[in-house]
Structure 1
Amino acid sequence: MCIAAIPTYTMAETIHRVHVTIEPAGGSIPSGVMKRMQAGIQAAAEHIYVGKDSNAITSQSESYRQITADIVDRILYGYNVRQLTVAPGSTTELHLSLAPYGNTVTSVTTTVEYGTLSSEARQLVKRDMDGIDARAEQLLLGLPLDSLDWASTVAQQTIRDELAGRLPEFAVQTVVHPGVETQVTIYVIPQGAAVRKGHAEVVSNTLPAAVFWSTKREFDQYAEAMVGMPVAFVARHVPDINEGLQMKLNRSRAVTQFGISMAPKVQAGEDVTVVITADSSRYIARGEAYLDAGRSEKNVGLRLYAGVRQGKGSWYMEADFYPEDYSWDIFPSYKYAITEDTALTYQYNISDSAGRLRLDQALGGRWNARLQHDFKPNSNELGVSYDVHSYLTLEYVWAEHDNWLRVIGRI
């Protein structure tokens, strides 16, 4: 019996790609830096290995390991190759164990430069940037100082990319000041259309607007603080701004001591308006004066309201005084809020023993409309008004036999 010894050979393969894995031999490597390392090493390794015969690599494994280690040392300043293994194949596996040398970053402090933004704007920006200091620390803490020449670029780009999603209305610049105690400075620069003006208005259907003059001045300052902020940033943060204003209003004396309901509404744009609706939940006490241009009789008047509120309804007395003949019209009235924007009112004129029905409708923005029917005489009146601000309204009136412009000043 004869036994033949047949030699065996490993089938040679052409290397098509290189897969790199890195393991820290001491400490840890931030994930962003790790990806940059892998990408750099893989690009270099592909020049060495791709297209070569796997058996040729195996037969000269020590030479290839040394060449690869030398190139990695040149690419990754601040790290030494402790161990390198190469597994040749169609996809060649390259595994490295890296250790830092020299001093490392022991602390990372992040500072944000807001430029000329107001304290109110800074609070909103700070909320959007929440956790960015921890992210900077995660990217840089523990890195060798010699590696910061290239690793800080990774950290800067990563921070910019993250803040681009959180603060799309700002251009973000990041500067890393390397050292054992590394400093990171982030600059936020507004871009796009900016707020040019800001003011506040206090609107009340139950109380004299003059009562809220100090409130208006206080919130004028808040609205003016938004000047310079990107319009899109303010628009995105309207719910946050409203929430903050509501908390501030809830602590005011008008709410805590006098039971006045106050609700803010921010209108974003190049001219930011903070509209505060202030109404008593119990009482009605307000007045207005009007002047009609294009009307011959009762074209100047003083109108006073006083009453109480009950749920969606209001019982009140309206008194109209006409200086031209020193006469009065007295209207016991009931108003019911059908919706937030629609109200129906019935009034009875004691002087003429006649009733009238009135429908008020908010049209959106500063526009409103009213439709009024007087039972004696049997006539209708339509008015469309525009609120110039909380103290002045312009209304154009169409009556059955006449039209006129009414200027209404709220007291």
Structure 2
Amino acid sequence: MTIQLGRGVVGQVFLACLLSLAAIGVFACSAAQAAGRVEAVTAHVTAPDGLPPLVQQRMETSVQVISEQLLLGDDLHAADAAAKSEIIRQVFDKVLVGYTVRDVSLQLGDTAEVTVELSPWADQIRTISVETHVEGMPPEVERLVREDLADVSAVFSDALYGLPVAATDWTNGVLKHHLEAYLAEHLPEFRGDFEVETDGSAAEVSLTVYPRLPVVRTADLSMRSSTIPNLTLLNHRELMQEQADMLVGVPVAFVARHQHDFEHLFSERLDAQRDFRALRMKTAVTIAPQERMTVMSRSDSSRYRARLT
């Protein structure tokens, strides 16, 4: 059996074949081009005695940015690895303080790997002390602030230990960024400033924290009892008002976060009074944290029930 096709049908089939071959050719060419160019860059920075972790992160970010500007989209076959490595070395060496770039190695591929080896200058920091100052807070509040800052020294150790003394100023931006991140997690109601002084291989850090707005502006106190005359409570109103006023100037969010601590503190101090101990009084304090804060204390005896008529 013979099948005959008209000229129009043959022409359409031939045209479709040509278009298919052309599409395959373009796709193959594009794939070949994509496979032959640098698509990503990873950077590694090392030193003989290691690097402070926070400083190493910043350095590797800087090297990666420099390398991406130089390598991304570059033709792997035409790239001169030695020349590119030398450019990276020169550029990075100019922005460094306290280190000298000893060597740069470049391994080309779809993902180019750049490894930079550094030599530190003399006098590296080996001891770090952190002195914390809490600005404008009463002792009871300061104690809680210091508890929240218990491991803040790790922020400075991660950026300073092993660092050449000459590079201390270069790390201020790194320290500020990571201190802000630490405070946002552990003490978000306060800001922090710091100064670093070096003496030989020792670094002394002075950290000052101060409150963020809004803060407590006023404290309204109420005292109640169902078992003793309210007149008895008046003898201790001044004490309780002093406790409430202690929180004036303290960030509202800090009072809210430590609300249970303050309520427990106020209750304990009132129940520790001599006549309250004799009457076996137990006080429950409720604080409503806000700029115009309210404090309610309710004290009742477990042994006596007295009414004044």
TM range (shorter): 0.7 to 0.9
Identity of aligned residues (%): 27
Q: Greater CA deviation, 151-160 or 190-199?
A: 190-199
2:180 matches 1:130: no
Q: Which residue of 2 aligns with 1:374?
A: none
* 2-structure distance, mates of 1:46, 1:270: 51
Q: Which has the higher contact order (CA 8 A, sep 6+)?
A: 2
CA contact (8 A) 1:105 1:144 kept: yes
Aligned-pair distance for 1:127? 2.8
Cα distance in 1 for partners of 2:269, 2:285 equals 10
Q: Cα deviation per residue 1:189-217 (whole Å; 9 max; x = unaligned)? A: 33333222235443111112233334322
> Is the CA contact (8 Å cut-off) linking 2:240 and 2:270 kept in structure 1?
no
Residue type of the alignment partner of 1:211:
T
Contact 1:177 1:184 in 2 (8 A): yes
Amino acid in the other structure paired with 2:223: V
Alignment-derived partner of residue 361 in structure 1: none
Query: Do residues 50 (structure 1) and 72 (structure 2) align?
Result: yes
d(CA) in 2 for partners of 1:90, 1:266: 61
Does the residue aligned with 2:307 lie in a helix, a strand or coil? Answer: strand
CA distance in 2, matches of 1:199, 1:221: 11
Residue 213 in structure 1 maps to residue 234 in structure 2: yes
Unmatched runs of 5 consecutive residues or more in structure 2:
1-32
Letter in structure 1 aligned against 2:46: E
Misfit runs of 4+, over 6 Å = none
Q: Whole-Å Cα distance in 2 between the matches of residues 45 and 30 of structure 1?
A: 22
Contact 2:279–2:304 under 8 Å retained in 1: no
8 Å contact from structure 2 (residues 279, 303) kept in 1: no
**Residue 398 of structure 1 corresponds to which residue in structure 2?**
none
**TM-score of the aligned structures, taking structure 1 as reference length:** 0.60
1:263 aligns with 2:299: no
Q: Is there any run of 5+ residues in structure 1 with no aligned partner, and where?
A: 1-10, 288-303, 305-411
TM-aligned CA deviation for residue 93 of structure 1: 0.8
- Structure 2 CA distance for partners of 1:201 and 1:40, relative to 1, 3 Å: same
In 2, distance between residues paired with 1:119 and 1:246? 17
* Cα distance in 2 for residues equivalent to 1:269 and 1:16: 54
Q: 1:255 to 1:97 in 2, by over 3 A?
A: farther
Q: State the match for 2:28 in structure 1.
A: none
Task: Work out the CA distance in 1 between the residues paired with 2:101 and 2:127.
Answer: 25
The corresponding residue for 2:17 is: none
Q: TM-score, length-normalised on structure 2?
A: 0.78
The Cα offsets for residues 29-63 of structure 1, whole Å up to 9 and x where unpaired, read as 23222211111111112233233332333xx4444
Matched-pair contact (CA < 8 Å) for 1:262–1:276: yes
Give the letter for the 2:51 counterpart: I
**Structure 2 CA distance for aligned equivalents of residues 56 and 102 of structure 1:** 40
Structure (1 or 2) with the greater helix fraction: 2
**Higher strand proportion (structure 1 or 2):** 1
Match of 1:390 in 2: none
Is the counterpart of residue 285 in structure 1 residue 309 in structure 2?
Answer: no
- Which residue is 1:23 aligned to? 46
Q: Does the CA contact (< 8 Å) of 1:23 and 1:96 recur in 2?
A: yes
Partner of 1:165: 185
Structure with the greater alpha carbon radius of gyration: 1
Partner of 2:138: 118
CA distance in structure 2 between the aligned counterparts of 1:286 and 1:125, rounded to whole angstroms: 43
